[in-house]
Structure 1
Amino acid sequence: MPAGIRVTVAFETPSACPIADLSAAAGTVIKDVSTTAGPATAEGAFTEFLVAGDAVPDDYDHDPVFAYADRHLYRIPHDTDCPCGCLGEYGVPVSRYFASDGELELVFHAPDFDRLQTIVGEFRDRFPAVDIQRLVRAPTGGTARDTVFVDRAKLTDRQLEVLRTAYEMGYFERPRAANATDVAAEFDVTPSTVTEHLLAAQSKLLQDVLEAGS
């Protein structure tokens, strides 16, 4: 994994993105994507991607470069009006593309927090519906650190409150300093309700810690 911060962002039907547009028109998934070297602002910057040949509409504006078995390789201009091109303006390449039915997911590596904040700010200005899904700090300096940024906003207020109280009471210690009945008494609810809140909260947080779905 490259050093820096690995970022996963999603866009709902972004305008001017040829990959997202084709995935919507073809009703298919496009994930075999690469871009030429150099920022997308440079003349002659292109995006290349593979897609099932029989999924491409007959009136598609571009012709395939050539075919791999039943898949066609397309090579088309990629400008700065779409999220992929926007990243090129900051010299940040896209590591992974995933387009499905018009929705686009990108994974890229920001070298530091300053660059990340600038890019996210630009995304939000241009694409208000952008969803910052995951941030992971990659190892640096030869160390084994792999810092994950956990989104606590996934939790409801009640789930966070129960989780914090359970932690402070020693519910997660071994041996336990408090059990579900003790935590439940703090909220005047049943132990099963506490357990449900804790399981839901842990499941949501583990999605970030284990990078589920990536």
Structure 2
Amino acid sequence: MPAGIRVTVSFPRPPVCPIADLSERAGTTVEDVSTSVSVDGDPVTEFLVDADAVPDDYEHDPVFTYTDRHLYRVCHGAETTCPCTTLGEYDTPVDRFHAAGGDLQVVFHAREFDDVQAIVGEFRSRFDDVDIERLVRAPTGTSARDTVFVDRGRLTDRQLEVLETAFDADYFERPRGATAQELAADLGIAPSTFTEHLLAAQRKLLGDALDTDD
């Protein structure tokens, strides 16, 4: 895996995306995707999809058929804006595309966090509801470090308040600095509610740390 930062971004039903559009219309998942540039300099997207899933009124003809799968090639005009053409404006390798039900997930690599900020900023200016799901820094050189970016934005305000309260009170130390009942009373909530929020927050943060899809 290239050194740098691996970024996972999702786009709920992007308005201009051939693979997301076909995944919704065909009721299938599209994962075998590649991008390139045509001789005219316009971005090109190629993708494989099960032949039986493609609707009869699909406007593109396959350029090749592999037994039971069609290969499609879509050339984007110079003014077309979709996630893959946006990424094409930056010198960043794409790890994978995943389209299902009209939604698109893209995993790409950036060299530095400044590059991530620039790309994400461009995404947010072009697409509504774009979600930065995960940032993971790859180890470099001989270092065994594997730094993970934890997205605190996944927590609700209440979950973050409960987590910070528990941490400040040494709830995670042994012996504990306070009980769940004491901290729940400080927050004015029931102990069961405190535990529910704490477990939900921990699960979200551990999902980031362990690089899972939860």
Unaligned runs of 5+ in 1: none
Residue number in structure 1 paired with 2:133: 133
CA contact (8 A) 2:14 2:104 kept: yes
TM-score of the superposition, structure 1-length normalised?
0.87
Secondary structure of 1:107's match?
strand
Amino acid at match of 1:95: D
CA contact (8 A) 1:184 1:191 kept: yes
Q: 1:17 to 1:57 in 2, by over 3 A?
A: same
CA contact (8 A) 2:93 2:110 kept: no
Q: Which portions of structure 1, spanning 4 or more consecutive aligned residues, are displaced by more than 3 angstroms?
A: 39-42
How big is the shift at 1:42? 6.2
TM-score of the superposition, structure 2-length normalised?
0.87
Question: Comparing 78-87 with 23-32, which one deviates more in the overlay?
Answer: 78-87
Secondary structure of 1:49's match?
strand
Deviations 1:153-193 (A, max 9, x none): 22222221221111121111123232212322322443323
Residue number in structure 1 paired with 2:48: 50
Q: 1:86 to 1:40 in 2, by over 3 A?
A: farther
Verify: 1:64 aligned to 2:65, yes or no: no
CA RMSD of aligned residues (A): 2.3
C-alpha distance in 2, partners of 1:194/1:21? 42
How big is the shift at 1:112? 0.9
Amino acid at match of 2:30: I
How big is the shift at 1:135? 1.2
Q: 1:84 to 1:42 in 2, by over 3 A?
A: farther
Secondary structure of 2:123's match?
helix
C-alpha distance in 1, partners of 2:108/2:182? 45
Residue number in structure 2 paired with 1:198: 198
Question: Comparing 183-192 with 5-14, which one deviates more in the overlay?
Answer: 183-192
Amino acid at match of 1:157: D
CA contact (8 A) 2:34 2:46 kept: yes
How big is the shift at 1:40? 7.6
Q: 1:64 to 1:4 in 2, by over 3 A?
A: same
Verify: 1:21 aligned to 2:21, yes or no: yes
C-alpha distance in 1, partners of 2:130/2:10? 6
Secondary structure of 1:129's match?
coil
Secondary structure of 2:107's match?
strand
Q: What percentage of aligned pairs have identical amino acids?
A: 64
CA contact (8 A) 1:24 1:100 kept: yes
Residue number in structure 2 paired with 1:34: 34
How big is the shift at 1:44? 6.4
Residue number in structure 1 paired with 2:180: 180
C-alpha distance in 2, partners of 1:19/1:48? 9
Residue number in structure 1 paired with 2:72: 74
C-alpha distance in 2, partners of 1:112/1:40? 28
Unaligned runs of 5+ in 2: none
Secondary structure of 1:35's match?
strand
C-alpha distance in 1, partners of 2:84/2:160? 35
